[in-house]
Amino acid sequence: MKTPANDGEFTLVVKRSKFIGVVFRVETEDDALARLKEVKAAHRKASHNCYAYRIGNATRYSDDGEPHGTAGMPIYEMLRREGIDNILCVVTRYFGGTLLGRGGLVRAYTAAAKGAVGELAD
């Protein structure tokens, strides 16, 4: 398992919707929930703050109002495939007025999360 050494951020625009992916190194679920609260406070006007975290055997993910299975699970699956532990990834979406469909949402959330992970230094 890899553990991030620092935080990362990545922004993606898809059909005028803005997706901001951020990742944080976390040691406990309380750390993850505190960081999630900070992100939500910083993006109060966002349409959605979808997330996933992996901390040892503890995992959690949320679609935060997006259609079931289109945001939280794809973020989690990307973290699992990359083999990253002790990480929280939050993807904030500002809706741009165009519906993306289930496939478009999965691709956008995955790309924003993967972009944020890509910003991590080893």
Splitting the chain (122 residues) into consecutive groups of 10 residues, what average pLDDT does each group show?
79 96 96 96 96 95 96 96 94 94 96 89 52
The model carries a pTM of 0.93
Amino acid 119: pLDDT = 75
CA distances from 82 to 29, 75, 95 (A): 20, 11, 28
Amino acid 45: pLDDT = 95
Amino acid 86: pLDDT = 94
Q: Fill in the DSSP letter of residue 117.
A: H
The gap from C-alpha 20 to its chain's centroid, in whole angstroms, comes to 8
**Does residue 110 contact residue 78 with C-beta atoms inside 8 Å?**
yes
Amino acid 41: pLDDT = 97
Q: Render the burial of 78-101: b for 16+ CB within 10 Å, e for the rest.
A: bbeebebbbbbbbbbbeeeeeebe
Amino acid 6: pLDDT = 74
Amino acid 121: pLDDT = 53
